[in-house]
Structure 1
Amino acid sequence: MTLVQLEYFIEVAEQLNFTQAAKKFYVSQTAVTQQIKSLEKSLKIQLLNRTKHHVALTPAGRVFYNEAKAIIERAKTAVEKTSNASAGSSGSIHIGYIKGYEKTSFSNLIFHFHEKYPNITISFHRDNAENLIEGALKGIYDIVFSLDFKSFHKLKDLKSFSIKSYPLMAVLYSSHPFAHRSSIKRYELKNETFLVMKSQLNTNSENDNQILGEYYENGFIPKVFQASTDFETLFLMVSAGMGICILPEYITRNADITKNTVIVPLEGENEKININVFCNKASSNNCLKIFAEFIENFYA
């Protein structure tokens, strides 16, 4: 039994006409007849009742028709999966992403990617920026979505590109003198105590911090208290009047903000932060190339 025999039989079963079936495959009617006779011989079962002017499926033929179609579909799927694997559109990819970024258009990106490439298995890892970059360098993650620190661009083993910028917002306690303002200039906050996530500070160089770095670059050292590893605790501390924080708009927009806190945008066209994609230049994962190209097109 061959796939060709099955395809010929399926077409005859659907057309109930040897001549029409032969035309589809650009072969002679005799060739189709011979292949089906050979199929019946190998099965030791008659699949078709045929006369000079009439063709009909036998009861066994009707059963075999459904099974033959299933076999052909499985064969096509096997070929497609093998082809996809060879082209890199089948496999796995490990994605790392910054805390809080799961509530942005990131979820739409993943949805559309999985819809287009269902044979690529995706695993997710949520962490702070430093751990994500370290994981990318070690090959733990194929690709990471992270805040953009200057020091990361100095790592020769990484390549990166920016996908989106978000405005920076000041999170204030409700009794703060600026709580009723429509916007705030950064330097109006220079004497504040800043509450920060662990991922907002680079342990090697504080002025690499894209959020607070401008203070350091201009010779002013802000009062910084490394408050927490989660945003909920950060908001709680702000509401208690222990300090303020500056966060990307995507976090303040989607977070469950604690009572007694107020969100005020920072004033100025440069008051924004980039989310970058980072991956290891040495990666041999074909799925990574597919995903990276998909990301660039998605955010274009």
Structure 2
Amino acid sequence: MLLKQLEYFVSVVEHNSFTQAAYENYVSQSAISQQIKSLEASLGVPLMVREKRSFHLTPAGEYLYRNGKHMMLRIKNLQEETARIGKNERKYLRIGYLNRYSGIALQQALMRTTKRYRDLDVRMYSGSHSELYQMLDDNLVDIIFNDYWQMTNDYDFNSYAISTATVIAEVPKGYTTEGAVELKELLDLPLILVCDEDQRLDEENNYRKSLGFAGSFIHVKNLEEARFLVAAGQGILLVDRFKYLVDSIPGIERKCILSYGKPIERDYYFYVNAQNLNTYAEAFKDIFLQVLDEF
């Protein structure tokens, strides 16, 4: 199968016309028809059933069209990124991360990435689950670091499993003398959610379904505000860690969260937009995995 044959096939299906596809690709209708016949011959299966002035796709044709279209977009991005690097254009990487994550692995990976690529412009953005997915879909970031969260089929993301994080509660100092706390025992103080108002219901539903939290919630717009409330005894904040957390915070203690005696864990992933790949996003992912291996 040749790339040009795939391009012609996708064009015919999108225009629902051999004539229009030929016009758009600056070739004759007979040339496009012959190339698609050659494509079918090389694959050994029919891709479309031709009628007098129309056609419909076979199941194999439907499959090739759906996946071939995405492949064409990835090839276009590959070409553009290669040309950009070759022209020494400004290098950039925009990273989104879940606002409940609190650990040193992300910082270490960031330091190593900027040391390796000294002229790389890196920007960091935190957000809630749904905010991160939307930022990636809108091409505002190149890669996001997020725990598993149900998302719709509207997103065309590639996911890479990273590791499992342990859920830790940041509680007011003196809240309990126990080193670990059952989730069901946290009902006397509200759980603090870091998100915008329009994501509040989605975030609450996520914590109830994925963690089984049955208490009340309050929400704030940033992590700093959340920790002020914790230190003041106004709520509890859940954060995730990979083996180590950043330094302790005055007025706040950290407790492992249990569910029926077992630590609660969350699977983390890197997500990238399949239609807008960034060379340095892949490099950052690999460096992050190296950091985790060294812990």
* Matching residue's letter, 1:222: G
Q: Describe the superposition over 1:47-77 as per-residue Cα deviations: whole angstroms up to 9, x where unpaired.
A: xxxxxxxxxxxxxxxxxxxxxxxxxxxxxxx
In 2, the alpha carbon distance for the partners of 1:295 and 1:253 equals 15
The alignment partner of 1:140 has SS state of coil
Is contact 1:101–1:251 with CA below 8 Å preserved after alignment? no
- Residue in 2 that maps onto 1:246: 238
Instruction: Tell me the TM-score normalised to structure 1 length.
Output: 0.55
Residues 284 and 87 of structure 1, relative CA distance in 2, 3 Å threshold:
farther
Q: Describe the superposition over 1:211-264 as per-residue Cα deviations: whole angstroms up to 9, x where unpaired.
A: 873226xxxx421111x22333323322333232322247994256232x3322
The alignment partner of 1:123 has SS state of strand
Query: Which residue among 219, 229, 232 is the counterpart of 1:237?
Result: 229
1:266 aligns with 2:257: yes
Query: 1:134-283 alignment to 2 at 5 Å?
Result: 134-146=134-146, 148-152=147-151, 154-174=153-173, 176=175, 179-198=176-195, 202-203=199-200, 205-206=202-203, 209=206, 213-215=210-212, 221-226=214-219, 228-249=220-241, 253-254=245-246, 257-259=249-251, 261-267=252-258, 268-283=261-276
* Matching residue's letter, 2:149: K
The alignment partner of 1:150 has SS state of coil
- Residue in 1 that maps onto 2:127: 128
In 1, the alpha carbon distance for the partners of 2:244 and 2:286 equals 29
Residues 203 and 104 of structure 1, relative CA distance in 2, 3 Å threshold:
same
Instruction: Tell me the TM-score normalised to structure 2 length.
Output: 0.56
In 2, the alpha carbon distance for the partners of 1:85 and 1:252 equals 36
Residues 269 and 90 of structure 1, relative CA distance in 2, 3 Å threshold:
farther
Residues 248 and 274 of structure 1, relative CA distance in 2, 3 Å threshold:
same
Q: Describe the superposition over 1:186-221 as per-residue Cα deviations: whole angstroms up to 9, x where unpaired.
A: 1222454222222799546346535873226xxxx4
Of all paired residues, the percent bearing the same amino acid is: 14
Structure 1 unpaired stretches of 5+: 1-81
What is the aligned length? Answer: 209
**Deviation (angstroms), 1:169:** 2.0
- Residue in 1 that maps onto 2:79: none
Structure 2 unpaired stretches of 5+: 1-81
Is contact 1:169–1:246 with CA below 8 Å preserved after alignment? yes
In 2, the alpha carbon distance for the partners of 1:253 and 1:284 equals 30
Is contact 2:142–2:273 with CA below 8 Å preserved after alignment? yes
